[in-house]
Amino acid sequence: MEYEIKKDGKFEYVEVGEGEPLMLLHGLFGALSNFSDLIENFRGSYKVIVPLLPLFELDLLHTSVSGLAKHVTAFIEHKGYDHIHLLGNSLGGHVGLVYVLKHPEKIKSLTLTGSSGLFENAMGDSYPKRGDRDYIKNKTALTFYDPAMATDELVDEVFEITKNRIKVIKIIALAKSAIRNNLGEELNQIKIPTLLIWGKNDTVTPPFVAEEFNKLIPNSELHFIDKCGHAPMMEQPAAFNSILSAFLTSLPK
């Protein structure tokens, strides 16, 4: 599904549907395609918003989790969104957490899936190798329970990024920032309803990470999806959307 990318000043984003804002924050190698099933499922009931995070546009000093959170803060202020249902995958979840800790009054609910912020193993034991497509294909496949999810199209998207030296430097900067920016001691401050949807076979942020989030965030509930890796909304969209829908409809209006 192709979506129109809107431009408003320094912000690029997708916005479809009407209703309460449901904002989706993508991860380090995230693309709009990651969220297509989710967008289509919820655009009939919510205003679904996907800001494109400036992973490669910020100067190196601000290429960090907090730098991305500042961008999201400016975007929400610029657009005047309120009562937001915020959902983040991987690095996007981490950015969402940093935002919620600073601006809880803007957020009605929080959903995390494969989020960093406590522990993540995105790089494994090596950094991205430029010009080695097989390496990229293997690393992309590790994101999923089913390696067939690493389609040629998806591998090519990631491969294009890693062919650029500056982008690789920024990916490493963001990955290191995610590891440094550990939120373990702050998560008990989050009082809003929080949903954790996790792949039972996630090797990037393994199940114990979800259990730790569940323990540390007071008003949280945890759901595991079997035969599912680091991107449940892509790999098991029907199960993911069902869990998210039940959670959102259970919230007080």
Give 13's pLDDT tier (boundaries 50, 70, 90).
very high
Give 2's pLDDT tier (boundaries 50, 70, 90).
confident
- Non-local (6+) Cβ contacts of 148 within 8 A are none
Whether pLDDT at 159 is above 90: no
Whether pLDDT at 45 is above 90: yes
Distance CA 181, CA 183 (A): 6
Domain 6-250 sits in which CATH superfamily? Alpha/Beta hydrolase fold, catalytic domain (3.40.50.1820)
Would you state the pLDDT for residue 72? 98
- In order of 38, 101, 210, 246, the CA distances from 220 in angstroms are 21, 15, 11, 14
Phi, psi dihedral angles at 198 (to 5 degrees): -130, 140
pTM above 0.75, yes or no: yes
| Residue 108: exposure state from Cβ atoms within 10 A (0-12, 13-18, ≥19) | middle
Q: How many CB atoms lie within 10 A of CB 23?
A: 26
CB 99 within 8 A of CB 86: yes
Q: Which long-range contacts (CB under 8 A, 24 or more apart) does 32-40 make?
A: 32/3, 33/153, 33/154, 34/89, 34/231, 34/233, 34/234, 35/233, 36/1, 37/233, 37/234, 37/237, 37/240, 37/241, 38/87, 38/233, 38/237, 38/240, 38/241, 38/244, 39/1, 39/3, 39/14, 40/1
Would you state the pLDDT for residue 34? 87
CB 5 within 8 A of CB 76: no
Whether pLDDT at 24 is above 90: yes
Would you state the pLDDT for residue 125? 46
Q: Which of 68-77, 117-126, 210-219 has the lowest mean pLDDT?
A: 117-126
Distance CA 109, CA 117 (A): 18
Each residue's pLDDT tens digit, 77-131: 999 999 999 999 999 999 999 999 999 999 999 999 999 999 866 544 445 555 6
Span 203-221, average pLDDT: 96
Span 5-27, average pLDDT: 96
Closest by alpha carbon to 210, among 103, 114, 107?
A: 114
Q: Give the 3-state secondary structure of residue 174.
A: helix
Distance CA 93, CA 202 (A): 15
Q: Which two tokens stand for residue 162?
A: 């890693």
Whether pLDDT at 185 is above 90: yes
Each residue's pLDDT tens digit, 219-235: 999 999 999 999 999 99
Would you state the pLDDT for residue 33? 80
Q: Could you state, in order of their start, the residue ranges of all structural domains in the chain?
A: 6-250
Distance CA 223, CA 217 (A): 14
Phi, psi dihedral angles at 194 (to 5 degrees): -130, 130
